């Protein structure tokens, strides 16, 4: 059947961390993976919301192994604390899904002083992945999945204004953060291969999902417009999550792939291989972004050099 996800049979008991697993794409992916035997670590900012989401998963899969751990990717101290806990409590990490993020908020900063979207969507996950890499590297055939967006097509990395101090437009900075996700994930896979690691890095995007807030101006869109959008333009989160599940589990992927919906405009549909926008393939920009990310976070990847 078109779009069916055929998961390997040997995944029972494998450990997966999903950031932002309490809602939207993260929650829907967690439901699928929990039902297939993964041990789910829900990395969430709110214990209350995490508990509610966990109950949804267990209602579908009563025997699922699900754990809630607090993580705020907009706070490097929280990222370090979370990673320390994982490194202390787990002897293997098969899958890290970098999914959490924010979308077009008013201008604000993370606890570490970064522009909120760049800090949350990119820098927090850069730091998290670096801190967890030693455990991923020790786990055979482990995988890192980063959630991208079609918005990367319109993004540029403004290295002279990463903090928004010289002007801020929410959409522009969202596009920048999603391009940063793409550049990081692809550069990560190149470096993993360069150092002979069996860990791979894969990117996915959900198309245009109904989890995104659909607004016109400052007012909620009229109901009939929202209904039309849901029917013809948006796809439900459970369908959007298929790209994540595919990126996380398809045994045929070798790293560096970009997975998204196969429908018109790549807005909705079933998982398929895509080609990133040329801006995401600029290796010089990717290398500079990597260096800047290390400098801003104070965290480096240990590839064993």
Cα distances (angstroms) measured from residue 137 to each of 71, 128, 134, 181, 197: 22, 14, 5, 21, 7
**On the CB side of 108, how many CA atoms lie within 13 Å of its CA?**
11
Contacts of 99 (CB under 8 A, 6+ apart): 18, 19, 20, 21, 25, 26, 29, 145, 147, 244
Distance of CA 83 to the CA centre of its chain: 16
Residue ranges of the alpha helices (H) in the chain?
24-35, 47-60, 76-89, 116-117, 124-138, 170-194, 223-232, 237-249, 283-297
First to last CA, the chain: 46
What residue has token string 């979308």? 103
Which of 190, 174, 178 is CA-nearest to residue 115? 174
Identify whether the C-beta of residue 44 lies closer than 8 Å to the C-beta of residue 53. yes
Residue 279 burial (CB count, 10 A) = 17
Provide the sign of the torsion angle of the four alpha carbons 144, 149, 155, 161, taken in this order: negative
Which of 28, 81, 39 is CA-nearest to residue 64? 39
Tokens, residue 213? 């807030």
Residue 90 annotated in active site: no
Q: Which of 90, 107, 133, 174 is catalytic?
A: 174
Distance CA 244, CA 237 (A): 11
Annotated active-site positions, please?
174
């Amino acid at each position: 059947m078109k779009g069916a996800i055929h998961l390997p049979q040997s995944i029972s008991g494998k450990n997966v961390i999903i950031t932002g697993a309490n809602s939207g794409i993260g929650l829907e992916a967690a439901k699928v993976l929990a039902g297939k035997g993964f041990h789910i670590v829900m990395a969430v900012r709110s214990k209350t919301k995490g508990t509610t989401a966990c109950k949804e998963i267990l209602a579908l899969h009563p025997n699922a192994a699900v754990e809630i751990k607090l993580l705020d990717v907009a706070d490097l101290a929280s990222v370090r604390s979370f990673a320390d806990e994982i490194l202390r409590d787990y002897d293997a990490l098969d899958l890290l899904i970098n999914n959490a993020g924010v979308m077009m908020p008013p201008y604000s900063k993370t606890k570490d002083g970064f522009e909120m979207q760049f800090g949350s969507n990119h820098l927090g996950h850069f730091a998290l992945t670096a801190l967890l890499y030693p455990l991923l590297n020790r786990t055979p055939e482990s995988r890192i999945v980063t959630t991208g967006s079609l918005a990367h097509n319109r993004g540029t990395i403004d290295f002279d204004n990463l903090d928004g101090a010289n002007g801020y437009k929410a959409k522009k900075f969202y596009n920048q953060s999603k391009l940063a996700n793409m550049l990081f994930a692809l550069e990560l896979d190149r470096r993993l291969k360069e150092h002979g690691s069996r860990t791979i890095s894969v990117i996915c995007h959900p198309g245009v999902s109904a989890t995104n807030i659909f607004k016109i101006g400052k007012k909620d869109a009229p109901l009939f417009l929202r209904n039309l959008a849901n029917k013809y333009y948006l796809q439900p989160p459970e369908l959007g999550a298929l790209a994540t599940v595919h990126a996380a589990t398809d045994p045929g992927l070798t790293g560096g792939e970009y997975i998204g919906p196969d429908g018109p405009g790549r807005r909705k549909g079933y998982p398929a291989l895509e080609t990133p926008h040329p801006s995401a393939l600029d290796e010089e920009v990717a290398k500079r972004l990597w260096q800047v990310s290390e400098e801003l976070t104070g965290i480096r990847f240990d590839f064993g050099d």
